[in-house]
Structure formats: C-alpha cells, structure tokens
Structure 1
Amino acid sequence: MKDASSDWFDSCVSHLTSEGSLRVWSVLVTIFGDLAQNKSDQISGSLITALTSLVGIKAEATRVALHRLRKEGWIESTRVGRASVHRLTEYGRNQSAAAAPRIYARETSKPEIWHVLVSSNSETSRKELADQLLTGEYVSVNPVTAMASGPMPDDLEELLGFETSAISVPEWLRELFGPEPLKTAYDDFWKSVRIIDELLPQTGVDDPMKTAVLRILVVHNWRRIILRHPVLPAYFLPADWKGPACREEVSRLLDRLPRPHLATLEAELNT
C-alpha cells in the first residue's frame, strides 16, 4: 500500500540517507552532474542550499563543499549582485559526461572482445600495469594480471597482452569481481529503492523541489556503487548479484522522477 500520509517525502529521504552522514562535496557533484551538465547550465547558491537543506545538510557544510569543488577545478562561480551562481568547468563537465553512461544506461553493455594484460616482476612492467589500473577500466585478476573489455591498447611496452572473444569464467573469478562488501551494498540499495518505489505517490510527485531531491539521492546512491568497479556483464559476477535488478529499478524511479528544469526550480524559491 502506498504511504499517503504527509511524511512520505521524509520517509523517502530517510531511507536514501540511512547509510550515515553524506559527503557533501560528492552530493554536489551529483547535483551538478544530474541537473546542470550542459555548458550553459548554472545553479544559484540559493537553489543549491535549498536542495541540500531538504536532505538535512547544513548551509555552512554546503558552502565549504562548494569552496572545495572550486579549488579542485570542478566548478566556477560568478557573483550576480549579492548572490552567486555556479557552473561546471570544462573539467567538471568532462568528468560528469564520462560517468553518465555508467549511471544512466538502462542495460549493462555486453562486450564482444576482452583483453588481458600480464606484467613481469620488473618494476617498470608492474608500474605500467598499475598505470592501466588507474584508468578505472580494468579489473585486477591478481598482482600481475588485469583485464578489460574492448581491444588491447596499441602502446604497450613491458606488458604481455592478448585479445579474446571466448572466455570461461570460473566461480573463483565471479567471487573476486563480486566481493561480499560490494554485493552487500547492492543488496542494501535494492531494498532501499524498492521501498522508495512503494512510498512514492501513485499519482506522481507534483513538487519540483521534492522531485529534484529524491532524484538526486537515487542517482547519488546508485553512482556511489556503480562507479566502484569497472563495467562487467552478468556472467562475470555471482549468480545472485543484484546489479541488473538495481539498474532496472533506478531507471524506473528516474522515469517517475523526471529531471526538473533549472528555471522551474529557481522559480520555486520565489513562491
């Protein structure tokens, strides 16, 4: 049964923030990435504070996080009278655009080609493998072996590399790529989004600010999980892995919580 009481929104926020204190700068990255990823998009400081306050984040914490994002090159700010507006820098837009397919895709990609890299025990070879792992595209099989989807890089120096379209995935590899802590995170997120689906009013959310906040929290929690590992098809993961089910539910919730226009949200501040 749907929760028709006046506190359904607070219940949704509570479930979506139940893991503890939020990293405010990370929430802001989600806000900009979801609501203001285009070059022309900008968000007033007042709107950012209004959105974060509905999540329970204090205004001072929001100001500190905005300062951090400016310092790290994610956003730039402009004074308009006594107020400020904020927008993603080119670096911030590029980072957001790179993560977007992982976050918003309705299905996990199914690569036709994989490649494996193997290092020797030499320092230069191990460093080259470590540099490849830093790209976030590889999964480490063991200290000297990593693999990723797609064709093999053509600039390898000290690494053995080979491509294949036929891979046998043993159970030990499934467990390696789907460790218990990450599996538990998906299980918990699955329970949370299912509850949100039940709590949302059947007739839809008619408040743009509440729509934006719930959408941001869903995306934020999903983003925190999905970006913790490279893209992997289901046959590389444990049989009871909740990743595909979570992705399906996230897509469903985002359809029910369509992205509000920034102009609409800004106008809400004056009503």
Structure 2
Amino acid sequence: MINVSDQHAPRSLIVTLYGAYGRFVPGPVPVAELIRLLAAVGVDAPSVRSSVSRLKRRGLLLPARTARGAAGYELSPEARQLLEDGNRRVYAAAPPEDEGWVLAVFSVPESERQKRHVLRSRLAGLGFGTAAPGVWIAPARLYEEARNSLRRLRLDRYVDLFRGEHLGFAATAEAVTRWWDLATIAKTHEAFLDRYAPVLREWERRADTPPEAAYRDYLLTLDSWRRLPYADPGLPAHLLPGDWPGTRSAAVFLELHERLRDAGAVFAGV
C-alpha cells in the first residue's frame, strides 16, 4: 500500500477524486461524502472544507443541493472541460510515430508584458517545448487542448497556432533535446516508478481487491500520475533515448488503473 504520509495536496486530491469518480455521480457530491472519501486518503475534514472553498473561488466547483437537500458541490462547465482535456492525456495510448507538430507563436505588447509570463507558464504546463524565443512547439495532438486552454485564459488574441513538420537542419531527434529537457522529464518518470512499481507488485501478489484499499491506492496513484503527461509531451519513441522510462511508468499506471479503478468505484459509491 502507498504511504499516506507522502504528501498529496488536498486540493489536488479533490480534483483527482472528481476526475476519477465524482463527475459520474448523478447530481452534486454531498459535502459529507467528500469528507468520507478524502478521509480514506488521509485528509481531515477542515482541510477538505478549506480546499473546496478555494476551488469554489477559482470557479471549478459550484455549490448545489442534492435531491435530498444536502449541501454539496458539482463541477463547473470549465472544470468539466479541464477534466475532459486531461483524460486524453492521462489515459492516452502510445503516441503515433509521425503526427507532425503544433506551433504556438506569440507576441505580447510591452504594456501587457506581465501576460508573457502567464503565456509561457501555460504553454509549459501544457507540455510545449521552446523552439525559439516566442515560438513554442508540441506534438500536433495537443492542438485542441492548447486552443481550449488559451481561450479559457483569454490569451488567444496574443497567439497564433500552426500545424507543420520539422524539415531540418538538425535531425528531429537532436532538435527535441533542445526543445525539451528530456533528462528532467526522465527523472519524473523514474520517481513515479520508484514509488508505484512496488505498489503494482504488491497488488499482483493478491488474489482479492478490497474496495477501500483499491480506492485509496488508485486515487493516490492517479493523483501522482496525472501531472506526468503534462511534464512529458508524449514524443514518438523514435525521437527518445533508448529504454525511455516513460514507457515503463505508463505501463505501471495503466496496470494499476485496470486492477483498481472499478473496485475503488464500489467504495466511492459510483
């Protein structure tokens, strides 16, 4: 089992909970149920309430009453879009070998220069690499999510998006080492493997899958994993170093997902 003393931010766990289970609940999730489900992963009630308040202020959770009149929270349309975009990353199959690229080219007036930092941070957070000053690059499949994100943040008027292919002069496998810090990305995958490969081995030794234990390990695994597909843009295998750890970390996550998700849903009441 995963050690709950390893810190997971309560706010992040609540988002992960809604992504895994909460959005499939008919109607809002009652506050009492949020407290029960977060207690299973080591989050106390005051932390749940304060984190929910922050998510409400950010416009991601909306207060609502259940059919029985209990206080609860449901996802805002913006939050649902974020989770749908995220699902394409979190559960993605192996990337195609030759899909081309999406380029984001931006120009921000000097009078609004603070938005340059916001733009750079958002593009980096989406997994874009830096091809040149003001020119960011990512695999073409990230176009839709980038478009949605930039519009949501009202940054789309500063950016032009293009699709294309890399024609040289350096080999593409060499160029991607300039566009992304592959060594740092590899370390994030190795850290995930160090923590969760033993969890998978432990579950493989078990014949049963108790719902509460499955829910607990699945939620913590997913909370750690869902950041990785944003740090790692998902480059084709032929552009990556041999024995790329991302292949192994994705396999560990997907095996834990297959083993634990549905059993965890029983504990989550979905």
Pair in the same fold by TM > 0.5: yes
Give the 3 Å change call, closer, same or farther, for CA 116–97 of structure 1 in structure 2.
Answer: closer
Distance change >3 Å, CA 107–CA 174, structure 1 → 2: same
Tell me the residue number matched to 2:208. Answer: 204
3-state SS, counterpart of residue 172 of structure 2: coil
Q: 1:87 — aligned with what? A: 74
CA shift for structure 1 position 37 = 2.6
Superposed CA deviations along residues 148-182 of structure 1, whole A, max 9, x for unmatched, are 333999x9999796722666324463365244333
| Matched position secondary structure for 1:259 | helix
**Residue identity in the other structure for 1:163:** G
1:218 to 1:109, Cα distance in 2 relative to 1, 3 A = farther
Answer yes or no: is 1:239 the counterpart of 2:229. Answer: no
Partner of 1:102: 89
SS at match of 1:76: strand
Q: Deviation of residue 186 (structure 1)?
A: 0.8
Maintained 8 Å contact 1:119/1:144 = yes
Q: Note the C-alpha offset of 1:54.
A: 2.2
- The residue aligned with 1:163 is 164
Distance, in Å, in 2 between the alignment partners of 1:107 and 1:41 is 34
Distance 1:185 1:83, change over 3 A: same
Find the counterpart in structure 2 of residue 173 from structure 1: 176
Counterpart among 217, 222, 228 of residue 231 in structure 2: 228
Secondary structure in structure 2 of the residue aligned to 1:134: helix
- Measured against aligned partners, the alpha-carbon deviations of 1:110-138 in whole angstroms (never above 9, x if no partner) come to 442225566799969x9899858735363
In the alignment, the residues of structure 2 paired with residue 212 and residue 29 of structure 1 have an alpha-carbon distance, to the nearest angstrom, of 15
Q: Deviations over 1:41-68 (max 9, x none)?
A: 5322223222222222221111111111
* Count of matched residue positions in the alignment of Structure 1 and Structure 2: 250
User: Separation in 2 of the partners of 1:53 and 1:105?
Assistant: 30
Q: How far apart, in 1, do the equivalents of 2:8 and 2:264 lie?
A: 25
- 1:223, distance to aligned residue in structure 2 (A): 0.5
Contact 1:47 1:266 in 2 (8 A): no
The answer to whether the 8 Å contact 2:108/2:158 transfers is no
Residue among 36, 39, 64 paired with 1:50: 36
SS at match of 1:147: strand
TM-score, normalising length: structure 2: 0.74
3-state SS in 1 of match to 2:261: coil
Letter in 2 for 1:242: P
Greater Cα radius of gyration, structure 1 or 2: 1
Q: Take 2:172 and 2:80, find their aligned partners in 1: how far apart are those partners?
A: 36
TM-aligned CA deviation for residue 139 of structure 1: 1.8
Residue 266 of structure 1, CA deviation = 4.2
Structure with bigger helix share is 2
The offset of 1:211, in angstroms, is 1.7
1:134 and 2:132 aligned: no
User: Taking every aligned residue pair, what percent have the same amino acid on both sides?
Assistant: 20
What CA deviation, in whole Å up to 9, does each residue of 1:161-207 have, x standing for no partner? 6722666324463365244333212101012221011112521312x
Between stretches 126-135 and 190-199, larger displacement belongs to 126-135
TM-score (norm 1): 0.74
Runs of at least 5 residues in structure 1 that lack an aligned partner in the other structure:
1-11
Distance 1:188 1:57, change over 3 A: same
Judged with a 3 Å threshold, the aligned counterparts in structure 2 of structure 1 residues 113 and 82 are, in CA distance, closer, same or farther, namely closer
The whole-number CA distance in structure 2 between the counterparts of 1:236 and 1:112 is 12
Between the aligned partners of 1:29 and 1:159, the Cα distance in structure 2 is 30
* DSSP-derived class of the 2:23 partner: coil
